[in-house]
Amino acid sequence: MAGDLDLAAALKKKVRTYRNGKAGLDQKPHRVTLDNTSSSFFTIIEVFTYDFLGLLYSITDAIYRCGLNIWVAKIATKADQVVDVFYVRDINGQKVDLPEQVTAIKAAIMERLPASHADRLTQ
């Protein structure tokens, strides 16, 4: 509460310990999409991945660091599969529609997701 805890560092340590026990799971590759046509007011970010400790923090921190405000979040988990949907605007209250911004946001989110078994096979 006092702001003395480095949340990112604390979660990183916990996540590393947790993932070591789940290393053999066969996960599908992650997918991140940005949609600027379904809403007149928001850019919609959809993240398709598997559930892991710290997932929501990782995604929302990446979105925040891209200079976006989350107005609505819809979080769905079924077994270990996750579809997280975020309605966002930039700091000026606008949709994110420049191609380089879209690419940067996707990359920032993907960077925060761990390599799945399928991802490791293609590297």
Which domains, and CATH codes, for the chain? 26-118 (3.30.70.260)
Query: Nearest Cα to 93, choosing from 111, 77, 71, 108?
Result: 71
- What's the pLDDT at 34? 97
CA dihedral for 7, 9, 14, 20, sign (positive or negative)? positive
Distance set, CA 122 to CA 24, 46, 50, 116, 118 (Å): 16, 23, 18, 10, 7
Going from the first residue of the chain to its last (123 residues), give the mean pLDDT of each consecutive group of 10, the final group possibly shorter.
70 62 61 96 96 90 96 92 96 95 96 66 40
Reported pTM:
0.78
> Cβ of 43: how many Cβ atoms within 10 Å?
23
Residue-level pLDDT at 19: 55
Cα 18 to Cα 16: distance, rounded to the nearest angstrom: 6
Torsion 63-79-75-17 (CA) sign = negative
Instruction: Give the pLDDT of residue 122.
Output: 41
- Cα–Cα distance measured from residue 65 to residue 41, given in angstroms and rounded to the nearest whole number: 21
